[in-house]
Structure 1
Amino acid sequence: MTETEPTVFAPDEKQDYGDDPVAVRSTDHYTNEYVRGFVSKWDELIDWEARAKSEGRFFIDVLKARGKHSVLDVATGTGFHSIQLLKAGFDVTSADGSAEMLSMAFQNAADRGQVLKTVHADWRWLNKDVHGKFDAIICLGNSFTHLHEENDRRRALAEFYAALKHDGILILDQRNYDAILDDGFATKHKYYYCGEQISAEPEYVDDTLARFKYSFPDGSEYHLNMFPIRKDYTRGLLRDVGFQQIHSYGDFQEEGEEKSPDFFIHVAEKEYADE
């Protein structure tokens, strides 16, 4: 991959995966996946009210328990977590690689009496566009799996690490790709993607691609091509980049409490544990 920034496509274009959609396994393609039509339906998929009820104060409590205040949301999407944290009193900066998503997030915040500080940024060059050091970074919504290349994953984590204060933490989530790869897809839709009558399921999976199809009640369909990272692989990357403590949850529960969770949530800390 070249050392250049990705091409940004017009947001109103249709998703284009060419003649062989499962052959599209490039990090740069994410800029052409979040087209305006898909972004406009994203909140239907999430269902903010159901999502807020399902996850409760999990992220707020994790951050407050560690005394964190300044938060960089690097995968803002339409703004759900940025707005939840703003309302809870955190100082939030909201970044995303999709300008269309950031526009929607800013409007969502305004509709709720909040003002987002937004930055259009690619994780691989994060510190070029986002300045300062943060107490915490959150990377949620399975967003990390948009990185298809090993070097991109390592580079992005290094950028996150560099943007954190000496005692900062990273909270990163991912689908339970272990279960999808080993046992096939199943979901409880209990915590993530709570929208009713909306389907978010893989239509193709192999060791290096999970192609998800998102179907909406009006008959529209959209896709995302993602890299199916395994839990232990992600934890290994976090250690490699320098995080000293890593605690993983399954669907907001302690490991082992939720059998075959839909999502894993990793809390990675830069500081060594106290003896």
Structure 2
Amino acid sequence: MTLTQHSQKPCQDDLQNFGDKPEQVRDTDHYQQEYVEDFTDRWDRLIDWKARSEAEGDFYIRILREHGARSVLDVATGTGFHSVSLLKEGFDVISADGSPNMLARAFQNARDHGQLLRTAQADWRFLNRDIHGEFDAVICLGNSFTHLFREHDRRKALAEYYAVLKHNGILILDHRNYDRLLDQGVAIRSGKGNVYCGKDVNVSPEHVDEGLARLQYSFSDGSTYHLNMFPLRQSYVNRLMTEVGFQKITSFGDYLPGHQDPDFYVHVAEKEYKADIKQN
């Protein structure tokens, strides 16, 4: 057997590639090239599991239990933080993601926490092709929904979430406060928020317009990565979920109802059929 010595430099296949004009990369499918292995290996330094757990408290657990949810589809599991947290609380969880690098990291993280993930690589736009069964709840967290650049993709993904939900099921979806970023140009509060709590990385907007938020992630070891995302406005997300069919939407700011100027918005959308009954 011959052992191969690997260089400390990432190989060419593990480098992000945005081309010569990165601000013009506004393609939903490009996320596959953004979450390279080196970046996902550092992702938990951005999250800081302990700090995020303290910041969230029992927010998601409480909402799921209030709605009687038992089975949960985590469609953007990332490195597995929420899937692992829910498994520890006794929920039945399927963990999906479009990035194989993220799924591999999530599976290992779960094992390190004494849990076994049931994983599936799935594209949200074709979720019912890859995921079978119905769920009490779908969660799409970590600002993940902003990877969808076309409105058709966003509507398709929401419709797929809706379809896998049982009657009276709920969708929980979050996103950054892009309204503040677009309207005020206020910088992202890295290391001080309650979603991305890691102090080992600085997150800063490199370019922002109505169709793109290009974020730079600079780690203390000198490595730098980027993500291109669509800046979702809060009112737009609420309208879209209503038009897809969700009948009641409750929005939170940093886990508080009606909180002004939060870092993140969290929307809880209910799938419930309410017939209009006319009195004679």
> TM class, shorter-chain normalised?
over 0.9
SS at match of 2:107: helix
Contact 2:234 2:265 in 1 (8 A): yes
Write the distance in 1 (CA, Å) between the matches of 2:186 and 2:13.
31
Contact 1:11 1:32 in 2 (8 A): no
SS at match of 1:15: coil
Write the distance in 2 (CA, Å) between the matches of 1:218 and 1:64.
41
Contact 1:12 1:36 in 2 (8 A): no
Give unpaired runs (5+ residues) of structure 1: 1-9
Is 1:252 the counterpart of 2:249? The answer is no
Q: What displacement does 1:142 show?
A: 0.3
SS at match of 1:37: helix
Contact 2:48 2:196 in 1 (8 A): yes
Write the distance in 2 (CA, Å) between the matches of 1:156 and 1:215.
30
Q: Highest CA radius of gyration, 1 or 2?
A: 2
Q: Which residue of 1 aligns with 2:237?
A: 234
Q: What displacement does 1:196 show?
A: 1.1
- Please list, as runs of the form range in 1=range in 2, the aligned pairs for 1:85-164 lying within 5 A after superposition: 85-164=86-165
Write the distance in 1 (CA, Å) between the matches of 2:274 and 2:13.
48
SS at match of 1:237: helix
Q: Which residue of 2 aligns with 1:200?
A: 203
Write the distance in 2 (CA, Å) between the matches of 1:273 and 1:221.
49
Q: Which residue of 1 aligns with 2:6?
A: none
Q: Which residue of 1 aligns with 2:17?
A: 16
| TM-score of the two chains, using structure 2 as the length reference | 0.92
Is 1:212 the counterpart of 2:221? The answer is no
SS at match of 1:192: coil
Write the distance in 2 (CA, Å) between the matches of 1:216 and 1:134.
37
SS at match of 1:213: strand
Contact 1:11 1:100 in 2 (8 A): no
Contact 2:45 2:200 in 1 (8 A): no
Q: What displacement does 1:25 show?
A: 0.2
Write the distance in 2 (CA, Å) between the matches of 1:253 and 1:273.
27
With 36-45 and 189-198 compared, the bigger mean Cα shift is at 189-198
**One-letter amino acid of the counterpart of residue 210, structure 1:** A
Q: What displacement does 1:186 show?
A: 3.1
**One-letter amino acid of the counterpart of residue 90, structure 1:** F
Q: What displacement does 1:12 show?
A: 4.4
Write the distance in 2 (CA, Å) between the matches of 1:261 and 1:128.
36
Give unpaired runs (5+ residues) of structure 2: 1-10
Taking structure 1 as reference, are residues 90 and 30 closer, same or farther at Cα in structure 2, changes over 3 Å only? same
Contact 1:245 1:273 in 2 (8 A): no
Contact 1:46 1:193 in 2 (8 A): yes
Aligned length: 264
Taking structure 1 as reference, are residues 91 and 29 closer, same or farther at Cα in structure 2, changes over 3 Å only? same
**One-letter amino acid of the counterpart of residue 126, structure 2:** W
Contact 1:178 1:231 in 2 (8 A): yes
**One-letter amino acid of the counterpart of residue 217, structure 1:** S
Contact 1:185 1:202 in 2 (8 A): no
- Please list, as runs of the form range in 1=range in 2, the aligned pairs for 1:37-76 lying within 5 A after superposition: 37-76=38-77
Identity, in percent, stands at: 60
**One-letter amino acid of the counterpart of residue 194, structure 1:** C
Write the distance in 2 (CA, Å) between the matches of 1:236 and 1:271.
16
Q: What displacement does 1:274 show?
A: 11
**One-letter amino acid of the counterpart of residue 165, structure 2:** L
SS at match of 1:171: strand
**One-letter amino acid of the counterpart of residue 235, structure 1:** N
Write the distance in 2 (CA, Å) between the matches of 1:118 and 1:13.
23
Q: Which residue of 1 aligns with 2:227?
A: 224
